[in-house]
Amino acid sequence: MPPRPRPSLAAALATALVAALLVLLPGSTTARAAPVLLSQGKPATASSIEGAGTPASAAVDGDNGTRWSSQFADPQWIQVDLGAAAQLSQVVLHWETAHARAYRIELSTDGSNWTTAHSTAAGTGGVQTLDITGTARHVRVYGTQRATAWGYSLWEFQVYGTTDTGPTLPGGGDLGPNVIVFDPSTPGIQARLDQVFQQQESAQFGSGRYQFLFKPGTYNGLNAQIGFYTAVSGLGLSPDDTTINGDVTVDAGWFNGNATQNFWRSAENLALNPVNGTDRWAVSQAAPFRRMHVRGGLNLAPNGYGWASGGYIADSKIDGQVGNYSQQQWYTRDSSIGGWSNGVWNQVFSGTQGAPAQGFPNPPYTTLDTTPVSREKPFLYLDGDDYKVFVPAKRVNARGTSWGNGTAPQGSSVPLSQFYVVKPGASAATINQALAQGLHLLFTPGVYHVDRTIQVNRPGTVVLGLGLATIVPDNGVTAMKVGDVDGVRLAGFLIDAGPVNSPSLLEVGPAGTTTDHAADPTTVQDVFIRVGGAGPGRATLGMVVNNHDTIVDHTWIWRADHGDGVGWETNRSDYGFRVNGDDVLATGLFVEHFNKYDVQWNGERGRTIFFQNEKAYDAPNQAAIQNGSVKGYAAYQVADSVNVHEGWGLGSYCYYNVDPTIRQEHGFQAPVKPGVRFHDLLVVSLGGNGQYEHVINGTGAPTSGTSTVPSTIVSFP
């Protein structure tokens, strides 16, 4: 093999001088983010060395004329032990010619368990200055793809930060004033329920947030009416541990019998004996009904039937019939029902015992015998007098509930002492410190403004919200990012865009990751995204999923069509949901009103079971939505590069009320390949306000006239 070219010592010194200037120049990013060089002279180890003259220690000796170099193979790593935990802010890599094309910066507190702080598949070599966030004692560069035929070689590997990590944050503690806990002997339960409902019934964009928790036992004669930003849950390990002889009710009296705006509320982990034999849960988006046992029927329509726009049931048992009535669409997963009445446009079932037979489009039932992969949402419960969070296990080809039949639930319990209980006023820096300490997060009800990204970088971290806890990013930051790690659980909170445009609001995994997470995927459940409505909000992209194998189980990603701060450019947000990872599964995907594509799917082997969409109402004219030569942006686009993708029960609606003459080429766009398959698609023009010319690509009949009749496709291609 011919000898490799080497930079001259002069070149190396010039590189060092440039790096020094980067550190010293006033106002530079490095000066702000890298106050102290922590790595120099510290113990370093590596996966391999090229020879005795290129040890790992040479990369942390402060000498730009010495270097570490690995053997000529992938993968390789070098790591440094800082000697104590430090709050990190920056890593600077001085690469030799033999540099990394793809690599990760990984952090660890113990030298064994690693989280990803930075990942790239487009490394350029030279001097790379990387801003990172996290607390760690051990830092490593993990190379997965070489840029040359040689190994990996670093003149210097520099880690900056501070050893002043602040006082250790405590876990556990009280749940704050807006978590209201009852036991069967609590006086005045109905009065307290009524007081909160009176405040929250019509507070669609208010700041109030409430969580009701019922300790195990039996409660008599209650009617818990559930308004905006209100969640009600039982504290047993099984729904049958907490019985209400009464109702948990959502109706639409506040909106004259129209339930299409009954958003942002939930019921979970309770058994109900409805007073009149049937409970009422008349909701639309972002109102999950999880882990419930209704010992009777369930009515999904408001009093007088009215209108309703779709919802979600999971892991629940309804002994009687579910009355669908006016619900335009609905998704029911891994449940047991006594029957189902009628359907409007799009009713989807997976893993549901008692579900109606496949019948789309007439009746409009899409029925899958099982759910391919599922894992129920984590939930708070009482073990004696101690609060714990139960983290359910993954299920494959699930059917029916995860509880009942006398069997113990599968999963693990985490004591509250291992959670940082986040309360209003907590800063993003404090939240990140808690995560870096190894604590999980339990957000109590409230609105949280964050001036920097919440970084979830530890495998298995649970981030659980109570009472629709709401995170608002300030200064255009991304509200939350998840690292390239296994088993993160995000559940039960709302991210609300701030007035300064964020590039994205939630990122699950770094761009370019290649890690397989199939054994222990990240789950995103009842995590809702909002742009506008409560005030001015802007974000280029709502949620992006980069990590492979992620499960997104019930989300509503919504660019507001009403409320404050609403207008075609006022709450601009071009893209709702983007999937770059492979083997991602979405169960219960609601995405609406984005300026361009609502869903973009770039990863391989993606699957969606149930999709509900409305195109943006407020497009001012045809030109505003024109996509090159195509009329409008599809609601759901699968990239031309994708070879395998599948979807069941997907619907898109248009209501271009500003300019009813707008034509939308199609609701769905996908490459025509044997591995790309769709089942039970529909598009609808609401009252003739705009029209679809096709359902998917150039296939499917156009909608027409003012009658709200779907155009359907049973199978594509």
Statement: residue 273 has pLDDT above 90: yes
Statement: residue 3 has pLDDT above 90: no
Tokens of 78: 């070098």
The percentage of the chain sitting over the pLDDT mark of 70, rounded to a whole number, equals 95
Statement: residue 540 has pLDDT above 60: yes
Statement: residue 591 has pLDDT above 60: yes
pLDDT value of position 165: 66
The percentage of the chain sitting over the pLDDT mark of 90, rounded to a whole number, equals 86
pLDDT one-digit tens code per residue, 156-184: 999 998 877 677 899 999 999 999 999 99
pLDDT value of position 35: 52
Q: Name the residue with higher pLDDT: 530 or 62.
A: 530
Statement: residue 324 has pLDDT above 50: yes
pLDDT value of position 30: 30
**pLDDT grade, residue 265 (50/70/90)?**
very high
What 3-state DSSP class applies to 264?
A: coil
pLDDT one-digit tens code per residue, 639-666: 999 999 999 999 999 999 999 999 999 9
pLDDT value of position 20: 36
Residue type, 712: T
Tokens of 7: 């930079």
Q: Do residues 478 and 507 touch, judged by C-beta distance below 8 A?
A: yes
pLDDT one-digit tens code per residue, 380-394: 999 999 999 999 999
Ramachandran category for residue 264: left, alpha or beta (phi over 0 → left; psi -120 to 50 → alpha): left
Tokens of 112: 């064994």
Q: Do residues 477 and 502 touch, judged by C-beta distance below 8 A?
A: yes
Statement: residue 32 has pLDDT above 80: no
Give me the phi and psi of 111, to 5 degrees please.
80, 0
Q: Is 113 exposed, middle or buried, given 0-12, 13-18 or 19+ CB atoms closer than 10 A?
A: middle
pLDDT value of position 11: 38
Distance, CA of 472 to chain centre: 15
Mean pLDDT for 552-559 is: 98
pLDDT one-digit tens code per residue, 437-466: 889 999 999 999 999 999 998 999 999 999
**pLDDT grade, residue 106 (50/70/90)?**
very high
**pLDDT grade, residue 112 (50/70/90)?**
confident
Residue type, 612: Q
Q: Do residues 54 and 155 touch, judged by C-beta distance below 8 A?
A: no
Dist CA 573 CA 568 (whole Å): 9
pLDDT value of position 36: 86
Mean pLDDT for 334-342 is: 97
pLDDT one-digit tens code per residue, 190-237: 999 999 999 999 999 999 999 999 999 999 999 999 999 999 999 999
pLDDT value of position 70: 96
Q: Is it true that the peptide bond before 170 is cis, omega within 30 degrees of 0?
A: no
Catalytic positions: 614
One-letter-per-residue 3-state SS of 467-518:
EEEEEEECCCCCCEEECCCCCCEEEEEEEECCCCCECCCEEECCCCCCCCCC
Dist CA 546 CA 540 (whole Å): 16
Mean pLDDT for 248-253 is: 96
Statement: residue 378 has pLDDT above 50: yes
